[in-house]
A and B are shown apart, each in its own frame.
Chain A
Amino acid sequence: MPRVIVASPHRYPDLARLWHRAVARDLLPALERAGHSVEVVVFRDAHADEFDPAHFPGAVLEAPGPGVRDFLEFYDAALALDADFLFLLDADLFFLDPDWAASWLPSFDDPDVSAVSLLRRSDEPGVYALLCRTAHYRELPQPVFAPAYEDLEDERNTVNRQPGDVAARRLRELGRKILYAGPEEAEERIADFHGTTVIRASREVFGHLMDGRGFEQLVSRKRYFAMGAYDNALLGSLHQAVFGEPFAPGPDGEPLGGSVPAEAVRRELGLIEDARMKEVLSAYFDRSDRAILRLAAREGIDLALPPMRPESWR
C-alpha cells in the first residue's frame, strides 16, 4: 500500500491543535479511503514543550535538532522519511473537501508527474499544499526545498526563490511534470489564512522592543500584518468555540495578546487612508470570512465573527 506522510511545521500549539483536528478528522480518512497508509508529522518549530501530545492523537511530534534547525530544514528532513508521497501543508491551511485532495493521487499513475500543487500563490507551486512524489524530489541536490536569492550581484535582476521554487524548476528541467489545481477550484475546497504565524512570531521576537500601540500600528502600515492580524482574530473565534480556550494569548493569558486584539485591528484599519489598500484588504477579508464560516460549519458551529471592519469602510 503506498504510504503518504502529511507534514506540517507549526510554531504555536493552539493553531496546530486546530489544524490537526481537521486533518485527523477529514484529510487522513480521505487519503486512506483512496488506498494509502497515512502518517501525520507535526514539526514544533518553537515552544516544543507547550505541545500537549494528548491534543495530537496519532501524530508524530518532531522538534528542532542537529540538521533540522528550523521549519525550512524540516521540509528536507520530512522528505527523507519512509514514504512514497510527501504532502506538505501550511499551518493555517484546512481542507473543506478532503476527498478532492485525495482525488489527485491517481495523477501519479503518470510516471513523469513529480508533484501536485493544490494551492499556489505565484507562478511557482509553493509548499502551501504540495503533494510530492518522494522518489523524484530525492534525486535533486540538497537542500531540496530551501529558498534562495539568485543573482544577488545584479540588484536589478535579483530573484527571491520561495521554498520549493528551485526544486520545481530543476524537476521541469529534468522533463518532470508539476500539476496545478485551478485557483477557483481550490478556493471552493480549501480554507487558507495568511501571515497568521508571522505576526505572532513578530510580536514574540520584537514586540517587547516596541510599546503595545506601536506594534499594533503595523496593521495599518503593512498589508501582510493586517491580513495576519485579521485572520488570527477569526481563527481565535473558532478556537474559542471549539476548545473553550483563548487563542494566541498574551503574557497574561488575554485572547489575541500574542497577535493583535480584534478591537485594535478595527482601530488600526480605520486609520488606513489608501483607497487601493482598503479595496485589496476588503476583498481579502471577505474571502477570509467565507473561509472561517465554512470551517466552522464543518464543526457544526454557527460562528459569530468579531467586528473588525471600520464603519467608514462600509
Chain B
Amino acid sequence: MTRVLGPGEFYYKEAFGPETVCRGAVLLECEWDGGVVEAGALMGVVFRSGEFRGGTFWGGVFLGGTWAGGVWESGFDHTGRYRPRTDHP
C-alpha cells in the first residue's frame, strides 16, 4: 500500500521504503530507500535508491537511484564528491 507524504508534513530522522511517495513533505536528516519523490524538500537526507522527479535536494548524499528532475541545491554523490548547485548526479 502506497504511503503519501504530503504538504505540511515534516519528518526528522525517519526512514522510508519503496512504498513511499513524497508529494510535498519536508524531510530532515532522513533515509530514503526505494520510493519516489515528486515534490517537497529533502535536507540532509541519505538517498539510497528510488527516483527523484521533483522537489528540492539540499545537503544530502545521493548514494543511488535515479535523478529525473527537481532542484539540486547541493549535496554529495556516491563517491563522496561534493556536487554544487545544479550539478545533480
- Contact (Cβ within 8 A) A70 B85: yes
Q: Which of A12-20, A185-193, A201-209 binds B?
A: A201-209
- Contact (Cβ within 8 A) A143 B78: no
Cβ of B18 under 8 Å from chain A: no
- Contact (Cβ within 8 A) B41 A206: yes
Nearest Cβ on chain B to A143's Cβ, whole angstroms: 7
- Contact (Cβ within 8 A) B12 A205: no
Closest B-chain residue to A148, C-beta based?
B80
Q: Which residues of B contact A211 (CB under 8 A)?
A: 8
Closest B-chain residue to A152, C-beta based?
B80
Q: How far is the CA of A149 from the CA of B40 in the complex (A)?
A: 25
Q: How far is the CA of A73 from the CA of B82 in the complex (A)?
A: 10
Cβ of A214 under 8 Å from chain B: yes
- Contact (Cβ within 8 A) A147 B85: no
- Contact (Cβ within 8 A) B80 A73: no
Cβ of A72 under 8 Å from chain B: yes
Q: Which residues of A contact B26 (CB under 8 A)?
A: 206, 209-210
Nearest Cβ on chain B to A126's Cβ, whole angstroms: 16
- Contact (Cβ within 8 A) B74 A152: no
Partner of B43, one of A143, A150, A202: A202
Cβ of A24 under 8 Å from chain B: no
Given A206-B43, A222-B12, A222-B28, the answer on whether A70 and B84 have CB atoms closer than 8 Å is: yes
A interface, size bucket: 20 to 34
Given A149-B61, A222-B28, the answer on whether A72 and B82 have CB atoms closer than 8 Å is: yes
- Contact (Cβ within 8 A) A148 B8: no
Cβ of B69 under 8 Å from chain A: no
Nearest Cβ on chain B to A191's Cβ, whole angstroms: 26
Given A205-B41, A209-B40, A214-B8, the answer on whether A152 and B79 have CB atoms closer than 8 Å is: yes
Q: How far is the CA of A147 from the CA of B25 in the complex (A)?
A: 27
Partner of A69, one of B43, B61, B81, B86: B86
- Contact (Cβ within 8 A) A205 B61: no
- Contact (Cβ within 8 A) A210 B8: yes
- Contact (Cβ within 8 A) B82 A152: no
Q: Which residues of B contact A146 (CB under 8 A)?
A: 81-82
Q: How far is the CA of A92 from the CA of B24 in the complex (A)?
A: 31
Please encode chain A, from 132 to 166, with 1 for each CB lying within 8 Å of some chain B CB and 0 for all others: 00000000000100111111100000000000000
Closest B-chain residue to A158, C-beta based?
B80
- Contact (Cβ within 8 A) A73 B24: no
Nearest Cβ on chain A to B31's Cβ, whole angstroms: 11
Given A70-B74, A206-B43, A206-B56, the answer on whether A149 and B8 have CB atoms closer than 8 Å is: no
Given A69-B87, A206-B56, the answer on whether A214 and B43 have CB atoms closer than 8 Å is: no
Q: Which residues of A contact B73 (CB under 8 A)?
A: 205
Q: Which residues of B contact A70 (CB under 8 A)?
A: 74, 84-85
Cβ of B58 under 8 Å from chain A: yes
Cβ of A270 under 8 Å from chain B: no
- Contact (Cβ within 8 A) B84 A209: no
Closest A-chain residue to B28, C-beta based?
A222
* Chain B residues at the A interface, C-beta cutoff of 8 Å: 7-8, 10, 12, 24-26, 28, 40-41, 43, 56, 58, 61, 63, 73-74, 76, 78-82, 84-87
- Known A152-B63, A206-B41; further 4 A-B contacts with Cβ < 8 A: A152-B80, A205-B43, A209-B8, A214-B8
3 closest Cβ contacts across the A-B interface? A149-B80, A206-B41, A70-B85
* Chain A residues at the B interface, C-beta cutoff of 8 Å: 64, 69-70, 72-73, 143, 146-152, 202, 205-206, 209-211, 214, 221-222
List 20 A–B pairs whose Cβ atoms lie within 8 Å, in order of A's numbering: A64-B85, A69-B86, A69-B87, A70-B85, A146-B81, A146-B82, A147-B76, A150-B80, A152-B61, A152-B79, A202-B43, A205-B73, A206-B26, A206-B40, A206-B43, A206-B56, A209-B26, A209-B40, A221-B12, A222-B12
